């Protein structure tokens, strides 16, 4: 069989641009695919951080895509360290601005996100319909920002085209836009049919069996409806999103496509997240040298001004501060957690109110609670390495990566049983301890008291010197690499191509 060609279209990719797990996956999955012999390449927008980190050459100039939207250029280069091809869309008016990929520095969504990501989707679909030199067999789209690509591709007149895969990393973000979208294309606010036409899509696409969503258009729904296959990032989340609670109104569509929907668990980049070689941490360590892990704790406590308390475990958290992550469950029991003799170290950014509430606690008791607001890659590694336990009380979690990073670092995860957390953390029940599978502590309900009980269970185990190292060892020896899942993606791609 000839080499499989895959274009991985994404709105973020580590180390070029990252706001969360999608960035990690967009680097690590194509890398793992390439190791399996797939010609996987990346497509992403030319944000300043991308343009600054890459050496790029022009492969296409003057691509006019939509009315009143500046023409863009397509550039090509190589991923740092990865040495695999990456395509970048150069459109200064769309992407060259300070702030994040989706929001300005104050946390407001960019008002023209619909256009910024319609452009990304359109270029992805042009690759998919073989209009450029690189002609992928598979167009692999990720989240709503690339959701229009399968629609553009489905309506393209191309004789040969890629099969499209839509991966859902988070159903909570859908990219829903109304008639105001017309203004972004230089037209007066008008009806949605006109908007759809401005995008170059047929009128018929604006229907329930298309991209229409409560009278507006949904980029994610477009991807879910028009793609040849849907994946999501854990088997449990694949089931979750077919229910009312997690489907955000799209559960019906997902249920009708359930025979073309699979959950493939994310892996982690085991080179970037390896306690033996991690260049961000002060003292490297391995499963045989766990005493050196404590050295990281001592140094981090010093750096953050926490009391050096050898008998108190350090409970870490690194997270986007959003509703999803269950911070509302944590906040009411912070005093109880501290009372139990646990120190809390949190790194996060997002919702300003959550930021303030957490910061207030840290001010009350800086010797026991450390809260760092902002995004800090180095500190994130240091917290994972230094902490004894890692908390993820998520209300929903498509996959979650930090619990896997933690287990690889001998840091025991405490999680709520949902989505990918349910699929990756094995609760320390007596049976699981006895059969050497236990890797963490799991609680069920969205309930602060249950969260606290979970911490209390973990605390008891922490003080049992016969038990804790066994839990650490179970996690540290587990294979969280991408190898298995990358093979599943290859098998999926091949099935799609054979069917076609």
Rounded to whole angstroms, how far apart are CA atoms 114 and 95?
12
Query: Is the Cβ–Cβ distance between 440 and 428 less than 8 Å?
Result: yes
- Selected range binding ligand GLC among 70-78, 396-404, 441-449, 450-458, rule: CB under 6 A: 396-404
* Member of 21, 223, 313, 413 binding ligand GLC (CB under 6 A): 21
Q: Which is nearer to ligand GLC, 283 or 381 (CB)?
A: 381
Which residue minimizes CB distance to ligand ADP?
A: 21
Q: Is 399 in the site for ligand GLC (CB under 6 A)?
A: yes
Residues 165, 228: contact at Cβ < 8 Å?
Answer: yes
28 binds ligand ADP (CB under 6 A): no
The full DSSP string for 220-257 is: HHHHHHHSSEEEESSHHHHHHTTSHHHHTT-HHHHHHT
Q: How far is the CB of 195 from ligand GLC (least distance, A)?
A: 28
Q: How far apart are CA 402 and CA 299, in angstroms?
A: 21
Residue numbers 376-395 binding ligand ADP by CB under 6 A: 376-377, 380
Residue (162 or 399) nearer to ligand GLC, CB: 399
Question: If contact means CB under 5 to 8 A according to the sort of partner, which of ligand GLC, ligand ADP, none does residue 233 touch?
Answer: ligand GLC
Nearer to ligand GLC by Cβ, of 20 and 82: the residue is 20
The stretch among 20-28, 72-80, 119-127, 330-338 that binds ligand GLC (CB under 6 A) is 20-28
Q: Which is nearer to ligand GLC, 170 or 218 (CB)?
A: 170
**Alpha-carbon distance 198 to 492, whole Å?**
34
46 binds ligand ADP (CB under 6 A): no
Residues 149-188 that bind ligand GLC (CB under 6 A): 169-170
Q: How far is the CB of 322 from ligand ADP (least distance, A)?
A: 8
377 binds, among ligand GLC, ligand ADP, none (CB under 5 to 8 A by kind): ligand ADP
Alpha helices (H) along 324-443:
327-330, 334-339, 352-364, 377-386, 402-408, 419-424, 430-434
Binding mask 233-262 for ligand GLC (x = CB under 6 A): x-----------------------------
Q: 102: how many CB neighbours lie within 10 A of its CB?
A: 17
22 lies in the binding site for ligand GLC (CB under 6 A): yes
- Beta strands 5-9; 85-90: pairing state: unpaired
Which of 394, 414, 398 is closest to 461 using CA atoms? 414
Q: Alpha carbon 342 to chain centroid distance?
A: 29
What's the rounded Cα separation, in Å, for the pair 442 and 173?
26
Considering the rule CB under 6 A, would residue 400 count as an interface residue with ligand ADP? yes
Q: Whose Cβ is closer to ligand ADP: residue 333's or residue 347's?
A: 347
Q: Strand, coil or helix: what is 282?
A: coil
Task: Check residue 440 and report its DSSP letter.
Answer: B
From residue 121, how far is each of 21, 29, 191, 393 by CA, in Å?
20, 20, 22, 34
Q: How far apart, in whole angstroms, are the C-alpha atoms of residue 234 and residue 222?
A: 21
Q: Is 347 in the site for ligand ADP (CB under 6 A)?
A: yes
d(CA 122, CA 147): 10
Q: CA-CA distance, 433 to 428, in Å (whole number)?
A: 6
- Asked if residue 416 binds ligand GLC (CB under 6 A), the reply is no
Closest by alpha carbon to 76, among 114, 104, 50? 50
Q: Is 400 in the site for ligand GLC (CB under 6 A)?
A: yes
Q: Which of ligand GLC, ligand ADP, none does residue 165 bind (CB under 5 to 8 Å by kind)?
A: none
Smallest separation, CB 28 to ligand ADP (Å) = 10
Q: Nearer Cβ to ligand ADP, position 400 or 410?
A: 400
Stretch of 156-164, 313-321, 426-434, 463-471 contacting ligand ADP, by CB under 6 A: 313-321
In angstroms, the CA 238 to CA 232 distance is 6
Residue 320 contacts ligand ADP per CB under 6 A: yes
Secondary structure class of 280 (helix, strand, coil)? coil
Options 14-22, 184-192, 198-206, 251-259: segment touching ligand GLC (CB under 6 A)? 14-22
3-state secondary structure of 481: strand
| Least distance to ligand GLC, CB of residue 381, Å | 17
- By the rule CB under 6 A, 372 interacts with ligand GLC: no
Q: Give the distance between the most distant pair of CA atoms in the chain.
A: 70
351 binds ligand ADP (CB under 6 A): no
Cβ distance to ligand GLC smaller for residue 78 or 375? 375
How far is it, in rounded angstroms, from Cα 167 to Cα 162? 15
Q: Which residues bind ligand ADP (CB under 6 A)?
A: 20-22, 24, 318-320, 347-349, 375-377, 380, 399-402
- Site of interaction with ligand GLC (CB under 6 A): 20-22, 25, 169-170, 233, 266, 397-401, 420
């Amino acid at each position: 069989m000839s080499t499989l060609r895959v274009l991985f279209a994404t709105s973020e990719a580590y180390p070029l641009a990252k706001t969360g797990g999608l960035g990690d996956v967009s680097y690590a999955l194509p890398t793992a695919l390439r190791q399996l012999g797939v010609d996987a390449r990346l497509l992403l927008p030319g944000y300043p951080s991308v343009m600054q980190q890459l050496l790029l050459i022009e492969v296409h100039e003057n691509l006019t895509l939509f009315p009143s939207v500046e023409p863009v250029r397509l550039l090509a280069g190589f991923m740092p360290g990865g040495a695999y091809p990456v395509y970048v869309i150069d459109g200064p008016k769309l992407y060259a601005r300070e702030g994040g990929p989706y929001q300005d520095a104050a946390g407001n969504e960019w008002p023209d996100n619909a256009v910024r990501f319609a452009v990304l989707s359109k270029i992805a679909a042009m690759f998919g319909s073989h209009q450029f030199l690189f002609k992928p067999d598979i167009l692999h789209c990720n989240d709503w920002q690339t959701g229009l690509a399968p629609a553009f591709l489905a309506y393209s007149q191309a004789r040969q085209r890629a099969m499209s895969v839509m991966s859902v990393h988070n159903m909570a973000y859908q990219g829903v836009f109304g008639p105001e979208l017309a203004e972004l294309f230089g037209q007066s606010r008008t009806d949605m049919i006109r908007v759809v036409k401005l995008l170059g899509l047929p009128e018929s696409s604006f229907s329930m069996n298309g991209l229409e969503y409560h009278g507006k258009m949904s980029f994610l729904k477009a991807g879910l409806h028009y793609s040849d296959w849907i994946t999501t990032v854990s088997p449990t989340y694949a089931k979750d999103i077919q229910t009312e609670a997690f489907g955000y109104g799209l559960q019906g569509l997902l249920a009708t496509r359930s025979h073309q929907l699979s959950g493939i668990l994310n892996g982690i980049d085991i080179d970037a997240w390896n306690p033996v070689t991690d260049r961000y941490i002060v003292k490297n360590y391995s499963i045989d040298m766990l005493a050196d892990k404590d050295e990281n704790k001592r140094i981090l406590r010093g750096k953050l001004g926490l009391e050096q308390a050898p008998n108190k475990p350090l409970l870490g958290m690194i997270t986007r501060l959003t509703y999803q992550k269950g911070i509302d469950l944590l906040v009411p029991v912070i005093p109880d957690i501290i009372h139990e003799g646990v120190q809390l170290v949190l790194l996060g950014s997002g919702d300003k109110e959550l930021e303030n509430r957490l910061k207030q606690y840290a001010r009350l008791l800086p010797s026991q609670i450390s809260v760092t607001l902002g995004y800090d890659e180095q500190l994130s590694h240091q917290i994972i390495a230094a902490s004894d336990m890692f908390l993820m009380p998520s209300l929903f979690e498509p996959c979650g990566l930090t619990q896997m990073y933690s287990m690889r670092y001998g840091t025991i995860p405490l999680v709520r049983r949902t989505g990918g957390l349910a699929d990756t953390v094995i609760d320390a029940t007596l049976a699981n301890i006895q059969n050497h599978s236990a890797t963490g502590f799991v609680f069920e309900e969205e309930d602060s008291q249950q969260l606290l009980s979970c911490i209390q269970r973990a605390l008891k185990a922490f003080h049992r010197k016969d038990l804790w190292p066994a839990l650490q060892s179970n996690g540290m020896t587990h294979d969280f690499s991408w190898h298995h899942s990358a093979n599943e993606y290859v098998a999926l791609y091949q099935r799609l191509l054979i069917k076609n």
